[in-house]
Structure 1
Amino acid sequence: MPGWVSHVELDWALAPGRRFFEALSDGRTLLRYDRSGSGLSEPVPDVDIVEREFQIIAAVLDAAAYDVVDLLGMSLSAPLAVKWAAAQPKSVRRMVLYGGWLDGARLADAQVQAHVLGLVEQHWGFGSQILTEIFAPDADAAFRTAFATLQRDAAGPDFARAMLDAGYRISVATESAKVTAPTTVIHRDGDRAAPIAEGRRLAAAIPGARLVVLPGRAHIPYVGDVDTLIDHIRAGLGLPKTRAHTAPRLTARQLQVAALVAAGMTNREVAAELVISERSAESHVERIRTRLGLRSRAQLAAWYATTYP
């Protein structure tokens, strides 16, 4: 399940994000989606977030022809996953919750909540940067820039505010006691977006849940000690540790082309810069995208920015 906002294509283009999702899918089918109003999904009229999430999950499972799944809820999706598991216990075999909370009202005091909501609504550009600083305080500048841009590409200010507000309002104090699926709650002890106290409360409220506390301050799962986090997520899903994979490598010329694409150049401009034909430049771009499994120039630009900061 996605975090508070998502974009399945651009998430994949961020090099750390792609490695994270590839590791999760090793030995298992990984189903990802953008909730309505975010990423590639169309907006819908105002609907209760829980009701709409249930509709989306049901549609995804129906499209994939799965009756029972292992559920991974991260950030805002952690309490939403709890609500689904409580309402549809037969559909959840195991559940892993990362960076979640029991009661959103406890994430920050009312004054801080109001300030963040107003900032996102009125100054989304600056707000996306501030949220990135909270979500990934130890990430390098290139990643922070790319992730702030991803958030703005994934959602407009109204939807972003609505999702943050939903996070502050959601509580699963009642539903958590109804969860029957084996559950692992994973939390970083210095998470600045979701305090560790809420992770502990969430784990304590779910019958038989196992709590794993990891060091780190990042709320974004693919920042920080990602390998250890992946190992614990996979363990919670009944999977062995992931095998090491070698990332695709580009030639020196392809790296030159990727850098120019990331700088915003068209194929014609790339050709002029490298003194090659426009057709050759186009061919280079297509081969790079094929080798990296990317679908667009935007994905290529995001990949380069986070791989070669």
Structure 2
Amino acid sequence: MASPVAAGHPPQQIRFCRAPDGVRIAWAVHGSGPPLLISTCWLSHLQFDWESPVWRHFLVDLGRFATVVRFDERGHGLSDWDVTDHSLEARLGDLRAVADAAGFDRFALMAMAQGGPVAIAYAAAHPDRVTRLLFYGSYSDPLRESTPEDLELEAAFSQLIRAGWGREDSTFRRVFTSQMIPGATEQQKTWLDDLMRRSVSATTALLAREQRLRTSATDLLPSLSVPTLVLHARGDRMNGFGDGLHLAGAIAGARLVPLESDNHILLADEPAWPVFVDEVRRFLLADGAAGGTVPGADALSEREREILALAARGRDNADIARALTLSVRTVERHLQNAYLKLDVHGRSARAAAVARLLTGA
């Protein structure tokens, strides 16, 4: 499986921006294709995620067909650690700062895990910028329909963070790891155990968790009118499948894709992973390189759209072939088929095909 590194491109570019309250936020961009901004999940470290047996396949596979922008949440990873405000307003400011720094006028927005309320609030406030909305293992309210037993469990988790998060011994952190990736190998679990301590201090982990539990964006769901895809593992132990059902039912026109897995973080070798990748790819490329109704575009195959999207970013046939693990001759054949379907001919056919998809002309 080729990666962006193997295709001759740097794995990612790490940059920094300032949130409205001055907190420095680390963000990164990699891949090629339609822009996809990820509303960050609980644990991330832009540098170490590239070495991860748990996260690397997300980065490599999404980068095959999308320009992926992601960031470390305030208080985490390469972002400023000395932070006490983890409110929805503050986190929304972080997302706005990253979206502006990335420079895309319009983009798809993916909410992972606790990134849901922030993504919902952003999409509601900026409907002109969000082309598509995706949720993966996420929610609109972490305590929606919670029972007294659920609240007791949350209190127990807080005690575990206080007692054991910063210890060299990973016994306490393994409780969270076992919820996130119960089907993982020991190597993968050990890596996630270590990521927790590398990503955030015990003080911030506890403070951020307590403030996130008081965050809800449920009231904003009926106002969303953007195409929406909800992906959720049936056996997710961190955020139950009911959270995905609720999102899909509350957002007009949303589509739910149940993933046959018990893992909150899908692993590369489980059957649900290629389902996730294919659903996201189809969803992002459904409108071609850029939206708009183009004569002949409906007849294009998924692969033809994918190749034209890469061509739109200036990549030549050899580069496209390496990125998609194809031969140059296969890329040329797909392009020729696309030219016929779009009714463009001659030496300028490539430029004409790309321009028609980009402008809708």
The residue that corresponds to 2:80 in the other structure is 42
**The residue matched to 1:233 in structure 2 has which SS?**
helix
The residue that corresponds to 2:98 in the other structure is 60
Residues 151-190 of structure 1 correspond to what in structure 2 (within 5 A)?
A: 151-190=196-235
**The residue matched to 1:147 in structure 2 has which SS?**
helix
The residue that corresponds to 1:22 in the other structure is 60
**CA distance in 2 between partners of 1:127 and 1:78 (Å):** 26
1:49-94 Cα distance to aligned partner (Å, 9 max, x none): 3222222222222222112111111100122211211122112100
When residues 136 and 233 of structure 1 are mapped into structure 2, their CA distance, relative to the original with a 3 A threshold, is same
Q: What code does the residue aligned with 2:280 have?
A: I
Relative to the length of structure 2, the TM-score reads 0.64
Q: What code does the residue aligned with 1:13 have?
A: E
How far has the Cα of 1:237 moved from its partner?
A: 2.2
Q: Name the one with the larger strand percent.
A: 2
**CA distance in 2 between partners of 1:229 and 1:198 (Å):** 17
When residues 181 and 140 of structure 1 are mapped into structure 2, their CA distance, relative to the original with a 3 A threshold, is same
Which residue of the other structure, out of 212, 218, 227, is the alignment partner of 2:274? 227
Residues 1-309 of structure 1 correspond to what in structure 2 (within 5 A)?
A: 1-106=39-144, 109-124=150-165, 125-222=170-267, 224=270, 225-238=272-285, 240=302, 245=325
Q: What code does the residue aligned with 2:207 have?
A: A
How far has the Cα of 1:44 moved from its partner?
A: 4.7
Q: What code does the residue aligned with 1:119 have?
A: L
**CA distance in 2 between partners of 1:92 and 1:159 (Å):** 30
The residue that corresponds to 1:290 in the other structure is none
**The residue matched to 1:36 in structure 2 has which SS?**
coil
**The residue matched to 2:47 in structure 1 has which SS?**
helix
Count of residues paired in the alignment = 246
When residues 162 and 232 of structure 1 are mapped into structure 2, their CA distance, relative to the original with a 3 A threshold, is farther
**CA distance in 2 between partners of 1:193 and 1:110 (Å):** 14
Pairwise CA RMSD of aligned residues?
2.1
Structure 1: unaligned runs, 5 residues or longer: 247-309
1:82-118 Cα distance to aligned partner (Å, 9 max, x none): 1211122112100110001232114671100100111
1:108-150 Cα distance to aligned partner (Å, 9 max, x none): 7110010011111221143321100000000000100001101
**CA distance in 2 between partners of 1:45 and 1:34 (Å):** 13
How far has the Cα of 1:34 moved from its partner?
A: 0.5
**The residue matched to 1:101 in structure 2 has which SS?**
coil
How far has the Cα of 1:48 moved from its partner?
A: 4.3
**CA distance in 1 between partners of 2:180 and 2:325 (Å):** 27
**% of aligned pairs identical?**
29
**CA distance in 2 between partners of 1:99 and 1:18 (Å):** 18
Q: Would the aligned equivalents of 1:99 and 1:219 in 2 still touch at CA under 8 Å?
A: yes
How far has the Cα of 1:194 moved from its partner?
A: 0.8
**CA distance in 1 between partners of 2:186 and 2:152 (Å):** 29
Q: Would the aligned equivalents of 1:68 and 1:92 in 2 still touch at CA under 8 Å?
A: yes
Q: Would the aligned equivalents of 1:79 and 1:170 in 2 still touch at CA under 8 Å?
A: yes
**CA distance in 1 between partners of 2:210 and 2:281 (Å):** 30
How far has the Cα of 1:3 moved from its partner?
A: 0.7
When residues 222 and 237 of structure 1 are mapped into structure 2, their CA distance, relative to the original with a 3 A threshold, is farther
Instruction: Select between 104-113 and 199-208 the one with higher mean Cα deviation.
Output: 104-113
1:235-259 Cα distance to aligned partner (Å, 9 max, x none): 232365788659xxxxxxxxxxxxx
**CA distance in 1 between partners of 2:223 and 2:137 (Å):** 20
**The residue matched to 2:70 in structure 1 has which SS?**
coil
**CA distance in 1 between partners of 2:54 and 2:137 (Å):** 18
When residues 136 and 159 of structure 1 are mapped into structure 2, their CA distance, relative to the original with a 3 A threshold, is same
Q: Would the aligned equivalents of 1:177 and 1:205 in 2 still touch at CA under 8 Å?
A: yes
Q: Would the aligned equivalents of 1:86 and 1:175 in 2 still touch at CA under 8 Å?
A: yes
Q: Name the one with the larger helix percent.
A: 1
**The residue matched to 1:95 in structure 2 has which SS?**
strand
How far has the Cα of 1:174 moved from its partner?
A: 0.3
